[in-house]
Structure formats: structure tokens, C-alpha cells
Structure 1
Amino acid sequence: MAVHGQQNGFLQGLKFVRVDDCGDVRTPFPAKLLRALNNLKELRLSCLPELKCIWKGPSRHVSLQSLNRLNLESLNKLTFIFTPSLARSLPKLQRLYIIKCGQLKHIIREEDGEREIIPESPEQDGQASPINVEKEIVLPNLKELSLEQLSSIVCFSFGWCDYFLFPRLEKLKVHQCPKLTTKFATTPDGSMSAQSEVPEVAEDSSINREWNRNMGWKEDGDSCL
């Protein structure tokens, strides 16, 4: 479908998208629609067996600055979620739920042919700006993170960023992720951190493991969420 000026104007006001049980959807946001996502607040995708990527095409100048919630479930051909440029445009993201995506290997990965060279940038208040983009990225407002039944996930980021910080995270679930090498740990000030690509599978990544800011870690089905 061609995207004309009038359609782009309509999509600029798009705030909520939900796509369920559509067998032929390969990508919900082709290249011509990416620039219309500035006001998108909530995205829910589930039971899309042919979906291979969420955002199609170059994403360097695309912003998800308003995105508050992202739910992904039963997307069996999806292998990654964000490019590095999109990961840096998430200052308002509060809830990220990823469930039953059998081929998902990384949360963040460079697209083929879109390798980025990114200079250091100082942290700005309220912005998801990396302190050192090769080593650390901050998602300043993420409050809930769930990774469940992801049989292929290996790490948060592939070949781009080693360390993630979630200063306002309140709830974390990691369930049945047997290949996950990303290690979650709290910092001295109580923030949650994630270190990608540690040498071996992270301890307890394949069993029920949950964390709550007020109650700490709970395991083996002892839910704290």
C-alpha cells in the first residue's frame, strides 16, 4: 500500500497499535511508516507467525520517544527487536514484555547493512542517552521487564553494548530462557543492571526467577509480581 501525505498526517497522531492473529504480516511498520511513530505510546503484537522484524528499513532518524509499553508474544520468526538507534530513543518506555518468541536471539542488534558508528554522548536528564555507547545504555524509566519462554535468546545486545542500567525498574521476570548469558544484578544504589555476553549461561536463567525492588529475588514459582 502506498503511503501518501494525507496518510502520513493521520499516522502522526497514532498512539495505540494492536495486531493479533494475522498469519501473513511480516512487518507492521515498513520503511515509509517509520517516521510516523513519534507519538506511538503502546504497541502490542501477538500470534504473528510470519513476522520477522517490527521496524523495516533504516531507523537512524526514527524516534520512539513516546513509547510507554511494548508487548510481544508468540512471534516465532522474530530474531531481534530494536536496532541500536531505536534503543537510544526510548526515554519513556516503562513496560517491556517478551513472551514465547522462539527464534528471538537478541533484544538489540544491528540490521544487515546498517552498521552504525556512534560517538560518545553525555547523559541528558530524562533521555535514554548512553554514557559510553559501546559499554553502557540507560533506560531511565523502565519499570517492568518480563522475558518468558524464550528458548533461543542469548543476550540483550549482540556486538554493540555490554551493559544496561534500569534505575527505576520495579519488577523483573526471567522464565525459561535456557541460553541466556545476560546477567542481572543490583547496583549499590538499588538499580537493576544487565551485563550482556558473559562467558557462560547466566545462573538460573532457565528457571523461574523474579525480582521486586521491595522484596528482592524470588525463585522457583514463588511469585513476587
Structure 2
Amino acid sequence: MISDAQFEADLFYNIKFLRISCDFNVPTIFPISFLRRFYNLEGLEVVSCNFKELASFKSDACEDKDMIITIPKIKKLKLNAVNNIRHIWKQGSPLDHICASLECLELWQCGNLNNLGLELSFSENLTTLDVLKCNKMLELTTSSKARSLVCLVTMRIRECEMMREVIASDEDDTSYEIVFRALKHLELHCLQSLTSFCSGNYTLRFPSLEQVTLSQCPKMKNFNQGELSTPKLHKLWLTKTEFKGSWAGDIKATVEQLYKEQVGYRGLQHLKFSKFPELIDIWSRNPHEMLDLTTLKFVEVCDSNNLRYIFNLSMAFSLGQLRQMEIKRCGNLKQVIKEEGSITMVEEAIAYSSKIISIFPHLQSIIVESCLNMTSFYLGSKGLECPSLVEIKVIGCSNMTTFVSTFSRDEDKEAIIGDEVDNVATFFSDKVRLILLNESSFIHLIFFLCGCGSSHLHIIYILQ
């Protein structure tokens, strides 16, 4: 740990920005007194540290409260991957002085942070608030504390998995109006649990609000319950680069319309069906009701008895970015990909010949577990090609005797299969092609066949 005695008194006099990064062996309380040496400090960033508190009178020379006045007032504070911190502010903390002029607060990847807990002394000068991947946050702040954000111009909240609302009702709050006087830009992105901006019966006023970006918030049914005023807002944007925007007369009607149209699923990269039971119902009736999922990289389908198949071929071809697929405990699932309807789209996607279908170009991993009625991954009229596949796991699927209908490989590829060649050949048949990306890559096909279509464990390496 750095000690004050190690440096000359004026060594850090002209430094305006300080970034602190440390390992997990340091004390759990940030040595706030060290900042006394940075007389002109304006910005502080704390990265990948084990601190549970940012400031306390019990640490270092801060036991002497008179020393606080020698610590500079910063304008920007950023915490990045400070995972142990649960509360930023404490009443009477040295931060009362240090953050009295704070203008920009960024909280990134603080995994145990519950909420901002903003006090008036911290927030009355705040113009920018940016919260990213704080996955334990259920709400950003409470209604009474939100009123202190009188200078806030930009609010960004992104990728917070558990956040259900931005402003929560405060039991001690006796006022029913919240005014964000200066707020111009609001961004809510990839908040999969968010149902509303404010669920309490408050009147919200945004006299300066000009831009709202709302993306990948599939559970957001409404913006708020009470009255809402946004006189300068005339569009709601689904992405920062979108040209047209959406509007149904006001922001409340627009959010409700987007929810009905399931627009919140557009652009998702990670999708766990267990978090969206309503999605399973839509999917089982007609997958084409779903909007664009071309950005999807990970999909997990677990504990569903409604689906007999997950994709038809035309939908499968639209998932060009998919990297990983996990399917577990789906009792009525027969196969993952079903060939049905027109094959025009399929033929357009064929890579090598009319007998081979190139599908999921970036898919690397397939995991199928405890799907007792599943008979195959794909039983179609054409061969199947997954050019990036490196791993398949099939566990506890007692009725799966064939993974895909046809299996083949190029003459210049060597298959090292082991002793159970006949059983593996039956599992794949003779026409499906698994093309490798480069000379060093290989494919692991791992079948835990206790309860599967054969009785032994097979590990197959197909090498360049």
C-alpha cells in the first residue's frame, strides 16, 4: 500500500486525473487520505479493487476529521469492477466533501452495488450518470432522492440484469411530483427485468427531455403509472443510429405499443427463455411472430414442456451470429430444427451444393441435456454443415438415436473415433459435413450415453 511518507509534498500538485488499480490483497477500505497530495485533482477512477468502502473516518489519517478540508473536490468519479462495494455513500463520510462538486458519476461492473443511495450533497451538481453491468441493482434510486438530481443532463443505464425500475417508491415520501428539470438524454439498454421507469403513482415532469433510447427491454410494459410531461420529446429511438424512431403520440403510449409488438427482443445477444415465460407461448404457437433475432449469440431453453421443436429452417438461417445453444429438460421436445414449409430460403443459404445446408455459421457449442422425448437434433432431407462447431454434448436423452439425419466428411479429413465406430456412425449417418475453421481447430463430440441411444461414452476428434 502506498504511504504518504514515500513522496515529496508537492510531487502530485498538478495532476488532475488519478486512476487506481490494485489486486485483491489490499485492505477493504480505500485510503482516502492519500488524495491530500493531489491538490488539483478533478477526476478519480478506481478499477478492479477489493474495497468495500470508498471512505471512512476509521482509515488512515482520516480519523482526524479536520484533515478533510485538505482533500480536493473532484468533478468526476468512476468505479469499474469494484465488485465488493455495496454502498457508495455513508452519512458523514469524507465523500461529503470530496464529491460536493461532482458532475459525472460512472458505475461500471460493480456486481454487489444495491443502488446509488444518493444524498443531496452528492447529486445537486451531477450532470452525467452512467450505470453499466451493476447486476445486483433492483432500482437506481428512490423517489425522494431522485428529486435532488436537478442538474442531471444525461442518464444512461445499461446491462443491469436485475433492475426492475429506475425510481422506486420511498415509504417516507410525501410528495407526488418528481421533476428532472435539466435531463435531455435518457438511455435504457439491455435491462431484461425492467418493467417501468417508475411504478409509483408519481407525476413525472421532464421539461428538457429531447432524446430517449429504449432498447432490449422486453419486459417494459409502461413508462410510469402517474401523469407524465415531456413537452420537447417527439420520438423514441430503438438504437442510437436509428433514423426513423417510434412515436404513438406520447412516450407512455409508445412504450406500451413497443411492448405489444415485442420490440424489446430486437437486438438481444443473450436470451434465456426461462426469464420470459410469455416468449415460450409465442414461440410454441408461431416462431415467425418473433421479431429480428439476428444479433443473438447465446440461447438457452430450459424446463419447457410446450415446445416440440425450437427452430424451423428459415428461422435457423436468420440466427447467423449464434455462438452457443443450450437445451435442457424440455419434456416434449422432439427435435431442435424441423424442416417444414417452403425450402426457398434454405436453398439460397446452401454453401457448397444442393445436398448440403450451411447453417449457424458461428455456432461453436451445442448442449442437449435431459430431453427424454427428443429423437434427433435435425432430421431433414439435406445434409447439415456447421462450419465453426467445436463442441457437442448430449446428456441423458434416452430416445435420441440419431443426432442428425446425414453425416459426411471431406476425404482429406481424418476421423479418430475410437473403438465404437459403428455406434457413432449410426448416430450421425453418412452425409453431414463438419467443416473446420483452421488447421489447429478440432471438434469435440461428447455423448454421455448413460440413458442415450447407445451405452458407451464416445469422444470424437475430427482433425485437419
| Shared fold (TM-score, shorter chain, > 0.5) | yes
Select the residue among 204, 208, 217 that pairs with 2:258: 204
1:138, 1:164 within 8 Å by CA — same for their partners in 2? yes
Q: Which residue of 2 is the match for residue 45 of structure 1?
A: 107
Select the residue among 21, 30, 33 that pairs with 2:81: 21
For 1:104 and 1:84, how far apart are their aligned partners in 2?
15
The one-letter amino acid of 1:171's match is Q
CA deviation string 1:84-106 (max 9, x = no partner): 22211111100000000010111
For 2:84 and 2:218, how far apart are their aligned partners in 1?
29
Q: Could you say if the C-alpha distance between residues 11 and 116 of structure 1 is closer, same or farther in structure 2, counting changes exceeding 3 Å? A: farther
CA deviation string 1:57-112 (max 9, x = no partner): xx5x655110000000000001111122221111110000000001011111246x
Q: Percent identity?
A: 23
1:68, 1:93 within 8 Å by CA — same for their partners in 2? yes
2:206, 2:229 within 8 Å by CA — same for their partners in 1? no
The one-letter amino acid of 1:190's match is K
1:64, 1:90 within 8 Å by CA — same for their partners in 2? yes
| Structure with more of its chain in helix, by fraction | 2
2:86, 2:112 within 8 Å by CA — same for their partners in 1? yes
Q: Which residue of 1 is the match for residue 127 of structure 2?
A: 68
SS of the residue corresponding to residue 202 of structure 1 reads helix
The one-letter amino acid of 2:82's match is C
SS of the residue corresponding to residue 131 of structure 2 reads strand
Q: Which residue of 2 is the match for residue 176 of structure 1?
A: 216
Q: Could you say if the C-alpha distance between residues 74 and 164 of structure 1 is closer, same or farther in structure 2, counting changes exceeding 3 Å? A: same
Q: Could you say if the C-alpha distance between residues 170 and 19 of structure 1 is closer, same or farther in structure 2, counting changes exceeding 3 Å? A: same
SS of the residue corresponding to residue 172 of structure 1 reads strand
Larger Rg: 2
Q: Which residue of 2 is the match for residue 143 of structure 1?
A: 184
Q: Which residue of 1 is the match for residue 172 of structure 2?
A: 116
For 2:229 and 2:173, how far apart are their aligned partners in 1?
29
Query: Which TM-score applies when normalising by structure 2?
Result: 0.35
Structure 2 gaps, min length 5: 1-28, 30-55, 235-249, 268-291, 293-464
For 1:86 and 1:187, how far apart are their aligned partners in 2?
20
Q: Could you say if the C-alpha distance between residues 14 and 187 of structure 1 is closer, same or farther in structure 2, counting changes exceeding 3 Å? A: closer
SS of the residue corresponding to residue 81 of structure 1 reads strand
Q: Does residue 1:164 correspond to 2:204, yes or no?
A: yes
Q: Does residue 1:9 correspond to 2:69, yes or no?
A: yes
Structure 1 gaps, min length 5: 119-132, 210-219, 221-225
For 2:230 and 2:129, how far apart are their aligned partners in 1?
28
SS of the residue corresponding to residue 139 of structure 2 reads coil
